[in-house]
A and B are shown apart, each in its own frame.
Chain A
Protein backbone atom coordinates (compact mmCIF):
# COMPACT_ATOMS: atom_id res chain seq x y z
CA UNK A 1 0.00 0.00 0.00
CA UNK A 2 1.10 3.54 -0.67
CA UNK A 3 1.95 5.56 2.41
CA UNK A 4 3.51 8.90 1.58
CA UNK A 5 5.65 10.73 4.13
CA UNK A 6 5.28 14.18 2.64
CA UNK A 7 1.81 15.67 2.28
CA UNK A 8 2.80 17.60 -0.81
CA UNK A 9 4.05 14.51 -2.59
CA UNK A 10 0.89 12.68 -1.63
CA UNK A 11 -1.29 15.44 -3.04
CA UNK A 12 0.82 15.42 -6.20
CA UNK A 13 0.26 11.71 -6.69
CA UNK A 14 -3.44 12.03 -5.99
CA UNK A 15 -3.74 14.72 -8.66
CA UNK A 16 -1.57 12.90 -11.16
CA UNK A 17 -3.36 9.56 -10.90
CA UNK A 18 -6.96 10.54 -10.26
CA UNK A 19 -7.07 14.17 -11.46
CA UNK A 20 -7.86 13.55 -15.15
CA UNK A 21 -10.63 11.06 -14.39
CA UNK A 22 -12.18 13.32 -11.76
CA UNK A 23 -12.08 16.25 -14.19
CA UNK A 24 -13.74 14.42 -17.11
CA UNK A 25 -16.19 12.56 -14.88
CA UNK A 26 -17.25 15.87 -13.32
CA UNK A 27 -17.57 17.60 -16.70
CA UNK A 28 -19.67 14.83 -18.26
CA UNK A 29 -21.65 13.37 -15.36
CA UNK A 30 -21.48 15.10 -11.98
CA UNK A 31 -21.92 18.75 -12.95
CA UNK A 32 -24.67 18.13 -15.55
CA UNK A 33 -26.53 15.81 -13.17
CA UNK A 34 -26.41 18.31 -10.29
CA UNK A 35 -27.21 21.20 -12.61
CA UNK A 36 -30.05 19.15 -14.06
CA UNK A 37 -31.60 18.78 -10.62
CA UNK A 38 -31.39 22.54 -10.20
CA UNK A 39 -32.90 23.13 -13.65
CA UNK A 40 -36.04 21.19 -12.72
CA UNK A 41 -36.75 23.84 -10.09
CA UNK A 42 -36.53 26.67 -12.58
CA UNK A 43 -38.75 28.06 -15.26
CA UNK A 44 -36.85 27.91 -18.50
CA UNK A 45 -38.64 28.02 -21.83
CA UNK A 46 -35.51 28.38 -23.92
CA UNK A 47 -31.77 28.51 -23.28
CA UNK A 48 -31.70 32.24 -24.03
CA UNK A 49 -34.28 33.30 -21.46
CA UNK A 50 -33.03 34.07 -17.97
CA UNK A 51 -33.66 31.35 -15.40
CA UNK A 52 -36.48 31.99 -12.96
CA UNK A 53 -37.01 29.92 -9.84
CA UNK A 54 -40.29 28.08 -9.99
CA UNK A 55 -40.28 25.58 -7.13
CA UNK A 56 -41.85 22.24 -7.92
CA UNK A 57 -44.00 23.59 -10.73
CA UNK A 58 -42.21 21.53 -13.37
CA UNK A 59 -42.79 18.31 -11.46
CA UNK A 60 -46.46 19.24 -11.12
CA UNK A 61 -46.65 19.84 -14.88
CA UNK A 62 -44.77 16.60 -15.52
CA UNK A 63 -47.19 14.63 -13.36
CA UNK A 64 -50.13 16.09 -15.24
CA UNK A 65 -48.57 15.52 -18.66
CA UNK A 66 -50.63 12.59 -19.93
CA UNK A 67 -48.38 12.14 -22.97
CA UNK A 68 -45.46 11.54 -20.57
CA UNK A 69 -47.35 8.86 -18.65
CA UNK A 70 -48.55 7.27 -21.89
CA UNK A 71 -44.95 7.07 -23.14
CA UNK A 72 -43.80 5.72 -19.78
CA UNK A 73 -46.52 3.08 -19.72
CA UNK A 74 -45.67 2.05 -23.27
CA UNK A 75 -42.03 1.79 -22.19
CA UNK A 76 -43.00 -0.46 -19.28
CA UNK A 77 -44.86 -2.76 -21.70
CA UNK A 78 -41.78 -2.70 -23.91
CA UNK A 79 -39.55 -3.52 -20.92
CA UNK A 80 -41.69 -6.50 -19.91
CA UNK A 81 -41.85 -7.90 -23.44
CA UNK A 82 -38.18 -7.50 -24.31
CA UNK A 83 -36.56 -8.38 -20.95
CA UNK A 84 -38.49 -11.64 -20.72
CA UNK A 85 -37.99 -12.79 -24.30
CA UNK A 86 -34.34 -11.67 -24.62
CA UNK A 87 -33.33 -13.51 -21.46
CA UNK A 88 -35.19 -16.71 -22.32
CA UNK A 89 -33.95 -16.70 -25.91
CA UNK A 90 -30.41 -15.74 -24.90
CA UNK A 91 -30.31 -18.59 -22.40
CA UNK A 92 -31.65 -21.14 -24.91
CA UNK A 93 -29.10 -20.01 -27.51
CA UNK A 94 -26.29 -20.23 -24.95
CA UNK A 95 -27.46 -23.71 -24.02
CA UNK A 96 -27.38 -24.76 -27.69
CA UNK A 97 -23.91 -23.33 -28.41
CA UNK A 98 -22.38 -25.02 -25.35
CA UNK A 99 -24.05 -28.40 -25.88
CA UNK A 100 -20.97 -29.89 -27.51
CA UNK A 101 -22.04 -29.93 -31.16
CA UNK A 102 -19.49 -29.06 -33.85
CA UNK A 103 -19.11 -25.47 -35.11
CA UNK A 104 -20.15 -23.99 -31.75
CA UNK A 105 -17.75 -21.09 -32.13
CA UNK A 106 -19.03 -20.36 -35.60
CA UNK A 107 -22.59 -20.08 -34.29
CA UNK A 108 -21.52 -17.92 -31.33
CA UNK A 109 -19.73 -15.57 -33.68
CA UNK A 110 -22.64 -15.35 -36.10
CA UNK A 111 -25.37 -14.85 -33.48
CA UNK A 112 -23.43 -12.02 -31.87
CA UNK A 113 -23.16 -10.04 -35.13
CA UNK A 114 -26.16 -7.66 -34.62
CA UNK A 115 -24.47 -6.27 -31.48
CA UNK A 116 -21.63 -4.84 -33.49
CA UNK A 117 -23.94 -2.37 -35.15
CA UNK A 118 -25.78 0.49 -33.54
CA UNK A 119 -29.54 0.49 -33.00
CA UNK A 120 -30.11 3.34 -35.43
CA UNK A 121 -28.53 1.49 -38.36
CA UNK A 122 -30.21 -1.79 -37.39
CA UNK A 123 -33.53 0.05 -37.38
CA UNK A 124 -32.94 1.27 -40.93
CA UNK A 125 -31.97 -2.23 -42.08
CA UNK A 126 -35.18 -3.61 -40.61
CA UNK A 127 -37.18 -0.78 -42.12
CA UNK A 128 -36.35 -2.35 -45.46
CA UNK A 129 -37.64 -5.68 -44.19
CA UNK A 130 -40.85 -4.28 -42.75
CA UNK A 131 -41.57 -1.88 -45.61
CA UNK A 132 -40.44 -3.94 -48.63
CA UNK A 133 -39.59 -7.55 -47.92
CA UNK A 134 -42.40 -8.80 -45.69
CA UNK A 135 -45.16 -7.22 -47.79
CA UNK A 136 -43.66 -8.76 -50.92
CA UNK A 137 -43.67 -12.21 -49.28
CA UNK A 138 -47.21 -11.60 -48.09
CA UNK A 139 -48.27 -10.65 -51.61
CA UNK A 140 -46.79 -13.75 -53.18
CA UNK A 141 -48.10 -16.18 -50.59
CA UNK A 142 -51.36 -14.37 -49.93
CA UNK A 143 -50.70 -13.94 -46.19
CA UNK A 144 -52.68 -10.92 -45.08
CA UNK A 145 -50.78 -9.97 -41.87
CA UNK A 146 -47.50 -9.89 -43.76
CA UNK A 147 -48.90 -7.66 -46.46
CA UNK A 148 -49.78 -4.93 -44.00
CA UNK A 149 -47.05 -2.37 -43.57
CA UNK A 150 -46.15 -3.11 -39.95
CA UNK A 151 -44.62 0.28 -39.31
CA UNK A 152 -47.81 2.06 -40.37
CA UNK A 153 -50.01 0.10 -37.96
CA UNK A 154 -50.38 1.41 -34.41
CA UNK A 155 -50.09 -2.01 -32.74
CA UNK A 156 -47.80 -3.86 -35.12
CA UNK A 157 -45.27 -0.97 -35.08
CA UNK A 158 -44.73 -1.54 -31.36
CA UNK A 159 -44.05 -5.22 -31.98
CA UNK A 160 -41.70 -4.33 -34.81
CA UNK A 161 -39.56 -2.42 -32.30
CA UNK A 162 -39.78 -5.35 -29.88
CA UNK A 163 -38.66 -7.81 -32.57
CA UNK A 164 -35.67 -5.72 -33.66
CA UNK A 165 -34.60 -5.15 -30.04
CA UNK A 166 -34.77 -8.87 -29.27
CA UNK A 167 -32.89 -9.69 -32.46
CA UNK A 168 -30.22 -7.14 -31.50
CA UNK A 169 -29.71 -8.10 -27.84
CA UNK A 170 -30.24 -11.85 -27.65
CA UNK A 171 -26.74 -12.57 -28.97
CA UNK A 172 -25.08 -10.33 -26.38
CA UNK A 173 -26.92 -11.98 -23.51
CA UNK A 174 -26.09 -15.36 -25.06
CA UNK A 175 -22.37 -14.56 -24.69
CA UNK A 176 -22.86 -13.65 -21.01
CA UNK A 177 -24.80 -16.88 -20.40
CA UNK A 178 -22.12 -18.88 -22.21
CA UNK A 179 -19.53 -17.49 -19.78
CA UNK A 180 -21.77 -18.58 -16.90
CA UNK A 181 -22.52 -22.04 -18.33
CA UNK A 182 -18.85 -22.79 -18.87
CA UNK A 183 -18.26 -22.07 -15.19
CA UNK A 184 -20.85 -24.60 -13.99
CA UNK A 185 -18.59 -27.24 -12.38
CA UNK A 186 -18.44 -30.48 -14.35
CA UNK A 187 -18.24 -32.67 -11.22
CA UNK A 188 -21.53 -31.31 -9.86
CA UNK A 189 -23.21 -32.18 -13.14
CA UNK A 190 -21.69 -35.66 -13.14
CA UNK A 191 -22.65 -36.26 -9.54
CA UNK A 192 -26.27 -35.37 -10.24
CA UNK A 193 -26.28 -37.61 -13.33
CA UNK A 194 -25.01 -40.54 -11.23
CA UNK A 195 -27.67 -39.77 -8.66
CA UNK A 196 -30.19 -40.38 -11.43
CA UNK A 197 -31.23 -36.85 -12.37
CA UNK A 198 -32.47 -36.52 -15.94
CA UNK A 199 -31.59 -33.61 -18.25
CA UNK A 200 -34.60 -31.54 -17.19
CA UNK A 201 -33.91 -32.07 -13.46
CA UNK A 202 -30.24 -31.16 -13.94
CA UNK A 203 -31.25 -27.96 -15.72
CA UNK A 204 -33.82 -27.03 -13.06
CA UNK A 205 -31.97 -28.04 -9.92
CA UNK A 206 -28.31 -27.62 -10.81
CA UNK A 207 -27.70 -25.37 -13.82
CA UNK A 208 -30.32 -22.67 -13.25
CA UNK A 209 -29.49 -22.05 -9.56
CA UNK A 210 -25.79 -21.78 -10.46
CA UNK A 211 -26.64 -19.39 -13.28
CA UNK A 212 -28.29 -16.79 -11.03
CA UNK A 213 -25.21 -14.49 -11.11
CA UNK A 214 -25.40 -14.40 -14.92
CA UNK A 215 -29.11 -13.62 -14.78
CA UNK A 216 -28.43 -10.76 -12.35
CA UNK A 217 -26.18 -9.19 -14.98
CA UNK A 218 -28.35 -9.89 -18.04
CA UNK A 219 -31.62 -8.82 -16.41
CA UNK A 220 -29.94 -5.64 -15.16
CA UNK A 221 -28.54 -4.84 -18.61
CA UNK A 222 -31.76 -5.63 -20.49
CA UNK A 223 -33.88 -3.67 -17.98
CA UNK A 224 -31.66 -0.62 -18.22
CA UNK A 225 -31.38 -0.77 -22.01
CA UNK A 226 -35.12 -1.24 -22.48
CA UNK A 227 -36.02 1.73 -20.27
CA UNK A 228 -33.68 3.92 -22.29
CA UNK A 229 -34.56 2.64 -25.76
CA UNK A 230 -34.17 5.42 -28.30
CA UNK A 231 -32.18 4.54 -31.44
CA UNK A 232 -34.29 1.64 -32.70
CA UNK A 233 -37.47 3.50 -31.77
CA UNK A 234 -36.30 6.56 -33.67
CA UNK A 235 -35.09 4.87 -36.84
CA UNK A 236 -38.01 2.45 -37.18
CA UNK A 237 -41.01 4.64 -36.42
CA UNK A 238 -39.90 8.07 -35.14
CA UNK A 239 -42.63 7.54 -32.54
CA UNK A 240 -45.39 7.17 -35.11
CA UNK A 241 -47.88 6.38 -36.44
CA UNK A 242 -49.76 9.18 -34.64
CA UNK A 243 -47.40 9.07 -31.67
CA UNK A 244 -48.43 5.49 -30.90
CA UNK A 245 -44.84 4.27 -30.39
CA UNK A 246 -43.34 7.29 -28.64
CA UNK A 247 -41.41 5.80 -25.74
CA UNK A 248 -40.24 7.77 -22.77
CA UNK A 249 -36.76 8.63 -24.06
CA UNK A 250 -38.16 10.03 -27.25
CA UNK A 251 -40.82 11.92 -25.34
CA UNK A 252 -38.17 13.62 -23.18
CA UNK A 253 -36.04 14.51 -26.21
CA UNK A 254 -39.07 15.99 -27.95
CA UNK A 255 -40.22 17.89 -24.88
CA UNK A 256 -36.83 19.52 -24.40
CA UNK A 257 -35.35 19.97 -27.85
CA UNK A 258 -38.40 20.12 -30.13
CA UNK A 259 -41.02 21.78 -27.94
CA UNK A 260 -38.33 23.75 -26.07
CA UNK A 261 -39.85 23.09 -22.65
CA UNK A 262 -36.55 22.34 -20.93
CA UNK A 263 -37.60 22.48 -17.28
CA UNK A 264 -40.51 20.06 -17.67
CA UNK A 265 -38.48 17.77 -19.93
CA UNK A 266 -35.72 17.67 -17.34
CA UNK A 267 -38.21 17.00 -14.52
CA UNK A 268 -39.59 14.08 -16.53
CA UNK A 269 -36.04 12.82 -17.12
CA UNK A 270 -35.44 12.89 -13.35
CA UNK A 271 -38.68 10.96 -12.75
CA UNK A 272 -37.39 8.41 -15.27
CA UNK A 273 -34.07 8.26 -13.41
CA UNK A 274 -35.79 7.58 -10.08
CA UNK A 275 -37.94 4.83 -11.60
CA UNK A 276 -34.98 3.13 -13.30
CA UNK A 277 -32.82 3.46 -10.16
CA UNK A 278 -35.50 1.94 -7.91
CA UNK A 279 -36.35 -0.92 -10.27
CA UNK A 280 -32.78 -1.93 -11.12
CA UNK A 281 -31.77 -1.49 -7.46
CA UNK A 282 -34.55 -3.80 -6.27
CA UNK A 283 -33.77 -6.28 -9.04
CA UNK A 284 -30.10 -6.56 -8.11
CA UNK A 285 -30.89 -6.68 -4.38
CA UNK A 286 -33.43 -9.49 -4.64
CA UNK A 287 -31.61 -11.56 -7.24
CA UNK A 288 -28.35 -11.35 -5.27
CA UNK A 289 -30.28 -13.00 -2.45
CA UNK A 290 -31.11 -15.91 -4.74
CA UNK A 291 -27.46 -16.64 -5.47
CA UNK A 292 -26.17 -19.92 -4.11
CA UNK A 293 -22.61 -20.90 -3.38
CA UNK A 294 -21.26 -23.31 -5.97
Chain B
Protein backbone atom coordinates (compact mmCIF):
# COMPACT_ATOMS: atom_id res chain seq x y z
CA UNK B 1 0.00 0.00 0.00
CA UNK B 2 2.80 2.42 0.95
CA UNK B 3 4.77 1.62 -2.19
CA UNK B 4 1.70 2.09 -4.33
CA UNK B 5 0.97 5.46 -2.79
CA UNK B 6 4.52 6.55 -3.48
CA UNK B 7 4.27 5.41 -7.08
CA UNK B 8 1.00 7.32 -7.58
CA UNK B 9 2.44 10.46 -6.06
CA UNK B 10 5.57 10.16 -8.21
CA UNK B 11 3.43 9.80 -11.32
CA UNK B 12 1.37 12.86 -10.31
CA UNK B 13 4.53 14.92 -9.90
CA UNK B 14 5.86 13.72 -13.22
CA UNK B 15 2.67 14.69 -15.06
CA UNK B 16 2.55 18.06 -13.31
CA UNK B 17 6.18 18.74 -14.12
CA UNK B 18 5.59 17.93 -17.79
CA UNK B 19 2.54 20.20 -17.94
CA UNK B 20 4.42 22.93 -16.11
CA UNK B 21 7.16 22.88 -18.74
CA UNK B 22 4.61 22.88 -21.59
CA UNK B 23 2.63 25.78 -20.11
CA UNK B 24 5.54 27.98 -19.11
CA UNK B 25 8.03 27.21 -21.86
CA UNK B 26 6.77 29.82 -24.38
CA UNK B 27 7.24 32.56 -21.77
CA UNK B 28 10.69 31.21 -20.96
CA UNK B 29 11.59 31.36 -24.67
CA UNK B 30 10.50 35.00 -24.78
CA UNK B 31 12.64 35.81 -21.77
CA UNK B 32 15.89 34.17 -22.91
CA UNK B 33 15.63 35.48 -26.45
CA UNK B 34 14.78 39.05 -25.55
CA UNK B 35 18.43 39.83 -24.87
CA UNK B 36 19.84 38.27 -28.05
CA UNK B 37 20.50 39.59 -31.52
CA UNK B 38 18.69 38.20 -34.57
CA UNK B 39 21.72 36.06 -35.45
CA UNK B 40 21.86 34.47 -32.00
CA UNK B 41 18.11 33.86 -31.93
CA UNK B 42 18.17 32.02 -35.25
CA UNK B 43 21.34 30.15 -34.35
CA UNK B 44 20.23 28.82 -30.95
CA UNK B 45 16.74 29.77 -29.70
CA UNK B 46 17.14 27.73 -26.50
CA UNK B 47 20.52 28.85 -25.20
CA UNK B 48 20.76 31.36 -22.40
CA UNK B 49 21.83 34.85 -23.45
CA UNK B 50 25.56 35.50 -23.21
CA UNK B 51 25.03 39.00 -21.83
CA UNK B 52 22.12 41.00 -20.41
CA UNK B 53 21.79 43.46 -23.22
CA UNK B 54 18.83 45.76 -22.58
CA UNK B 55 19.46 47.67 -25.80
CA UNK B 56 16.56 46.09 -27.69
CA UNK B 57 14.14 46.93 -24.89
CA UNK B 58 15.14 50.59 -25.03
CA UNK B 59 14.76 50.56 -28.81
CA UNK B 60 11.30 48.96 -28.57
CA UNK B 61 10.04 51.37 -25.88
CA UNK B 62 11.06 54.19 -28.17
CA UNK B 63 9.81 52.76 -31.50
CA UNK B 64 6.54 51.47 -30.05
CA UNK B 65 5.82 54.60 -28.09
CA UNK B 66 5.19 52.02 -25.41
CA UNK B 67 4.13 54.33 -22.60
CA UNK B 68 1.39 55.97 -24.66
CA UNK B 69 -0.32 52.66 -25.41
CA UNK B 70 0.28 51.52 -21.82
CA UNK B 71 -1.39 54.69 -20.49
CA UNK B 72 -4.34 54.25 -22.87
CA UNK B 73 -4.84 50.64 -21.79
CA UNK B 74 -4.73 51.63 -18.11
CA UNK B 75 -7.25 54.46 -18.60
CA UNK B 76 -9.69 52.37 -20.64
CA UNK B 77 -9.47 49.36 -18.33
CA UNK B 78 -9.64 51.33 -15.07
CA UNK B 79 -12.59 53.53 -15.98
CA UNK B 80 -14.57 50.71 -17.61
CA UNK B 81 -14.09 48.36 -14.67
CA UNK B 82 -14.86 51.06 -12.11
CA UNK B 83 -18.12 52.12 -13.74
CA UNK B 84 -19.22 48.55 -14.52
CA UNK B 85 -18.74 47.76 -10.83
CA UNK B 86 -20.67 50.73 -9.44
CA UNK B 87 -23.55 50.72 -11.93
CA UNK B 88 -23.97 46.94 -11.94
CA UNK B 89 -24.01 46.81 -8.13
CA UNK B 90 -26.66 49.56 -7.95
CA UNK B 91 -28.80 47.89 -10.59
CA UNK B 92 -28.57 44.40 -9.11
CA UNK B 93 -29.36 45.77 -5.65
CA UNK B 94 -32.49 47.55 -6.85
CA UNK B 95 -33.62 44.55 -8.91
CA UNK B 96 -33.41 42.28 -5.88
CA UNK B 97 -35.06 44.72 -3.46
CA UNK B 98 -37.78 45.83 -5.84
CA UNK B 99 -38.79 42.84 -7.98
CA UNK B 100 -41.33 44.62 -10.18
CA UNK B 101 -42.31 43.22 -13.57
CA UNK B 102 -40.06 45.76 -15.24
CA UNK B 103 -37.04 44.92 -13.11
CA UNK B 104 -37.50 41.17 -13.49
CA UNK B 105 -37.94 41.58 -17.22
CA UNK B 106 -34.81 43.71 -17.48
CA UNK B 107 -32.86 41.10 -15.52
CA UNK B 108 -34.07 38.30 -17.83
CA UNK B 109 -33.18 40.39 -20.86
CA UNK B 110 -29.65 41.03 -19.59
CA UNK B 111 -29.06 37.37 -18.79
CA UNK B 112 -30.36 36.34 -22.21
CA UNK B 113 -28.12 38.90 -23.92
CA UNK B 114 -25.05 37.05 -22.68
CA UNK B 115 -25.29 34.54 -25.52
CA UNK B 116 -25.15 37.24 -28.21
CA UNK B 117 -21.80 36.87 -29.97
CA UNK B 118 -19.92 40.15 -30.36
CA UNK B 119 -19.73 39.42 -34.08
CA UNK B 120 -23.46 39.95 -34.52
CA UNK B 121 -23.31 43.39 -32.89
CA UNK B 122 -20.08 44.79 -34.27
CA UNK B 123 -21.25 45.77 -37.75
CA UNK B 124 -24.22 47.91 -36.63
CA UNK B 125 -22.05 49.24 -33.80
CA UNK B 126 -19.45 50.60 -36.20
CA UNK B 127 -22.20 51.76 -38.53
CA UNK B 128 -24.09 53.70 -35.84
CA UNK B 129 -21.14 55.22 -33.99
CA UNK B 130 -18.89 55.60 -37.01
CA UNK B 131 -20.82 56.46 -40.15
CA UNK B 132 -23.95 57.93 -38.55
CA UNK B 133 -22.96 59.67 -35.32
CA UNK B 134 -19.20 60.10 -35.95
CA UNK B 135 -18.36 59.32 -32.33
CA UNK B 136 -15.47 57.14 -33.54
CA UNK B 137 -13.80 60.22 -35.03
CA UNK B 138 -14.78 62.61 -32.26
CA UNK B 139 -14.11 60.66 -29.07
CA UNK B 140 -12.88 57.10 -29.63
CA UNK B 141 -11.62 56.39 -26.11
CA UNK B 142 -14.77 57.59 -24.29
CA UNK B 143 -16.83 55.61 -26.81
CA UNK B 144 -14.74 52.51 -26.13
CA UNK B 145 -15.33 52.91 -22.38
CA UNK B 146 -19.08 53.40 -22.90
CA UNK B 147 -19.22 50.19 -24.96
CA UNK B 148 -17.25 48.21 -22.38
CA UNK B 149 -19.60 49.36 -19.61
CA UNK B 150 -22.52 48.21 -21.75
CA UNK B 151 -21.00 44.82 -22.65
CA UNK B 152 -19.73 44.15 -19.15
CA UNK B 153 -22.92 45.03 -17.31
CA UNK B 154 -24.91 41.84 -17.99
CA UNK B 155 -22.53 39.33 -16.36
CA UNK B 156 -21.72 41.73 -13.53
CA UNK B 157 -25.39 42.46 -12.73
CA UNK B 158 -26.01 38.71 -12.81
CA UNK B 159 -23.21 38.03 -10.32
CA UNK B 160 -24.13 40.89 -7.96
CA UNK B 161 -27.78 39.78 -8.14
CA UNK B 162 -26.88 36.38 -6.73
CA UNK B 163 -24.95 37.96 -3.89
CA UNK B 164 -27.39 40.71 -2.89
CA UNK B 165 -30.07 38.03 -2.41
CA UNK B 166 -28.00 36.58 0.43
CA UNK B 167 -27.83 39.88 2.36
CA UNK B 168 -30.51 40.20 5.06
CA UNK B 169 -32.80 43.20 4.63
CA UNK B 170 -32.98 44.01 8.37
CA UNK B 171 -29.67 45.91 8.25
CA UNK B 172 -31.05 48.28 5.67
CA UNK B 173 -34.30 48.77 7.54
CA UNK B 174 -32.32 49.87 10.57
CA UNK B 175 -30.40 52.48 8.62
CA UNK B 176 -33.58 53.72 6.90
CA UNK B 177 -35.23 54.15 10.31
CA UNK B 178 -32.19 56.12 11.42
CA UNK B 179 -32.96 58.58 8.67
CA UNK B 180 -30.68 57.49 5.84
CA UNK B 181 -32.04 57.86 2.32
CA UNK B 182 -32.24 54.83 0.05
CA UNK B 183 -29.08 55.91 -1.78
CA UNK B 184 -27.16 56.52 1.46
CA UNK B 185 -28.24 53.11 2.71
CA UNK B 186 -26.92 51.51 -0.46
CA UNK B 187 -23.56 53.28 -0.43
CA UNK B 188 -22.95 53.07 3.33
CA UNK B 189 -24.42 49.70 4.23
CA UNK B 190 -24.78 47.50 1.16
CA UNK B 191 -21.80 48.48 -1.02
CA UNK B 192 -19.19 47.74 1.69
CA UNK B 193 -20.68 44.26 2.06
CA UNK B 194 -20.33 43.74 -1.69
CA UNK B 195 -16.55 44.29 -1.67
CA UNK B 196 -15.51 40.60 -2.00
CA UNK B 197 -17.92 40.14 -4.92
CA UNK B 198 -16.66 43.39 -6.43
CA UNK B 199 -13.08 42.10 -6.35
CA UNK B 200 -14.15 38.94 -8.23
CA UNK B 201 -16.11 40.93 -10.80
CA UNK B 202 -13.30 43.46 -11.25
CA UNK B 203 -10.75 40.69 -11.87
CA UNK B 204 -12.91 39.01 -14.50
CA UNK B 205 -13.53 42.34 -16.23
CA UNK B 206 -9.87 43.42 -16.12
CA UNK B 207 -8.69 40.14 -17.70
CA UNK B 208 -11.11 40.65 -20.56
CA UNK B 209 -10.85 44.38 -21.20
CA UNK B 210 -7.08 44.69 -20.79
CA UNK B 211 -6.51 42.04 -23.46
CA UNK B 212 -9.38 42.72 -25.83
CA UNK B 213 -8.42 43.14 -29.45
CA UNK B 214 -11.37 43.05 -31.85
CA UNK B 215 -13.47 45.93 -30.46
CA UNK B 216 -10.57 48.40 -30.02
CA UNK B 217 -9.26 47.45 -33.46
CA UNK B 218 -12.58 48.65 -34.92
CA UNK B 219 -12.97 51.78 -32.80
CA UNK B 220 -9.41 53.10 -32.45
CA UNK B 221 -8.00 54.45 -35.69
CA UNK B 222 -5.42 57.01 -34.56
CA UNK B 223 -2.05 55.91 -33.24
CA UNK B 224 -2.22 58.10 -30.11
CA UNK B 225 -5.37 56.20 -28.99
CA UNK B 226 -4.05 52.65 -29.47
CA UNK B 227 -4.22 50.20 -26.59
CA UNK B 228 -1.40 47.68 -26.15
CA UNK B 229 -2.86 44.78 -28.19
CA UNK B 230 -3.52 47.11 -31.16
CA UNK B 231 -0.07 48.61 -30.86
CA UNK B 232 1.50 45.14 -30.80
CA UNK B 233 -0.41 44.17 -33.92
CA UNK B 234 0.86 47.23 -35.80
CA UNK B 235 4.39 46.65 -34.50
CA UNK B 236 4.27 43.04 -35.62
CA UNK B 237 3.21 44.15 -39.08
CA UNK B 238 6.05 46.67 -39.33
CA UNK B 239 8.85 44.42 -38.04
CA UNK B 240 7.75 41.12 -39.58
CA UNK B 241 10.16 38.34 -38.52
CA UNK B 242 12.58 40.84 -36.96
CA UNK B 243 12.70 38.77 -33.78
CA UNK B 244 15.29 40.83 -31.92
CA UNK B 245 12.68 43.62 -31.75
CA UNK B 246 9.46 41.57 -31.76
CA UNK B 247 10.40 39.41 -28.78
CA UNK B 248 11.26 42.30 -26.43
CA UNK B 249 8.08 44.04 -27.61
CA UNK B 250 5.97 40.97 -26.77
CA UNK B 251 7.68 40.63 -23.41
CA UNK B 252 7.05 44.30 -22.58
CA UNK B 253 3.40 43.96 -23.57
CA UNK B 254 2.78 40.98 -21.30
CA UNK B 255 4.94 42.26 -18.44
CA UNK B 256 2.40 44.54 -16.67
CA UNK B 257 -0.21 41.82 -16.27
CA UNK B 258 2.40 39.20 -15.31
CA UNK B 259 3.69 41.53 -12.58
CA UNK B 260 0.12 42.13 -11.39
CA UNK B 261 -0.37 38.35 -11.32
CA UNK B 262 2.78 37.87 -9.28
CA UNK B 263 1.33 40.07 -6.52
CA UNK B 264 -2.36 39.23 -6.77
CA UNK B 265 -2.35 35.60 -7.89
CA UNK B 266 -4.30 34.38 -4.85
CA UNK B 267 -7.12 36.83 -5.52
CA UNK B 268 -7.08 36.25 -9.26
CA UNK B 269 -7.33 32.45 -8.97
CA UNK B 270 -10.04 32.80 -6.33
CA UNK B 271 -11.89 35.38 -8.41
CA UNK B 272 -11.97 33.11 -11.44
CA UNK B 273 -13.24 30.12 -9.47
CA UNK B 274 -15.91 32.19 -7.72
CA UNK B 275 -16.94 33.68 -11.04
CA UNK B 276 -17.55 30.18 -12.37
CA UNK B 277 -19.65 29.01 -9.45
CA UNK B 278 -22.12 31.90 -9.66
Q: Which residues of A contact B (CB under 8 A)?
A: 1-2, 13-14, 16-18, 20-22, 24-33, 35-36, 39, 47-48, 92-93, 96-97, 99, 101, 107-122, 124-126, 128-129, 131-133, 136, 167, 171-172, 175-176, 178-179, 214, 217-218, 224, 227-228, 230-231, 234-235, 248-249, 252-253, 256-257, 262, 265-266, 269-270, 272-273, 276-277, 280-281
Contacts and interface: CB of A to CB of B under 8 A. Distances in A.
B22 interface: yes
B95 A18 contact: yes
B127 A33 contact: no
Interface in B12-60: 12-13, 15-16, 19-20, 22-24, 26-27, 29-30, 33, 41-42, 44-46
Contacts of A96: 12, 15-16, 19
B26 A47 contact: no
B120 A112 contact: no
B153 A266 contact: no
17 contacts: A2-B97, A2-B98, A13-B94, A14-B94, A35-B124, A47-B132, A114-B23, A116-B211, A117-B258, A118-B210, A120-B229, A120-B232, A124-B250, A179-B273, A179-B274, A217-B276, A269-B123
A115 B214 CA distance: 17
Given A117-B257, A118-B212, A167-B22, A176 B273 contact: yes
A125 B250 contact: yes
A34 to B, nearest CB: 8
Main secondary structure of the interface of A (DSSP, over half): helix
Nearest to B17: A107
B127 A262 contact: yes
A93 B19 contact: yes
A228 B118 contact: yes
Interface stretch (B64-72, B191-199, B241-249): B241-249
In this complex, which of A2, A25, A30 has the most chain B Cβ atoms within 10 angstroms of its Cβ?
A: A25
B90 interface: yes
A25 B150 contact: yes
Interface string B103-124: 1001001100101111111111
Given A18-B106, A132-B45, A269-B119, A97 B229 contact: no
Interface residues of B, number: 96
B115 A281 contact: yes
B124 A109 contact: no
B224 interface: no
Nearest to A108: B269
Interface of B: 9, 12-13, 15-16, 19-20, 22-24, 26-27, 29-30, 33, 41-42, 44-46, 83, 87-88, 90-91, 93-95, 97-99, 102-103, 106, 109-110, 113, 115-128, 130-132, 146-151, 153-154, 157, 169, 182-183, 186, 207, 210-214, 218, 229, 232-233, 236, 241, 243, 246-247, 250, 253-254, 257-258, 261, 265, 268-269, 272-274, 276-277
Contacts of B15: 92, 96
B250 A249 contact: no
Contacts of B210: 118
Nearest to A3: B98
A227 B119 CA distance: 10
A116 B257 contact: yes
Nearest to B149: A24
Nearest to A218: B276
Nearest to A178: B273
A26 B150 CA distance: 7
Contacts of A129: 26, 29
A175 B12 CA distance: 18
A266 B126 CA distance: 12
Contacts of A178: 273
A112 B261 CA distance: 10
Given A22-B106, A125-B250, A230-B214, A272 B88 contact: no
B120 A175 contact: no
Contacts of B102: 14
A176 B272 contact: yes
A17 B253 contact: no
A21 B23 contact: no
Given A120-B213, A273-B119, 11 more contacts: A16-B90, A20-B91, A47-B130, A47-B131, A96-B19, A101-B12, A120-B229, A122-B26, A125-B26, A224-B115, A235-B236
Given A31-B128, A33-B120, A281-B115, A175 B90 contact: no
Given A21-B153, A129-B26, A28 B146 contact: yes
A81 to B, nearest CB: 18
Contacts of A257: 126, 218
- Nearest first, the 7 closest Cβ-Cβ pairs linking A and B are A28-B150, A118-B211, A47-B131, A17-B94, A179-B273, A36-B124, A176-B276
A128 B29 contact: yes
In this complex, which of B12, B117, B127, B269 has the most chain A Cβ atoms within 10 angstroms of its Cβ?
A: B117
Contacts of B128: 31-32, 35
B102 to A, nearest CB: 8
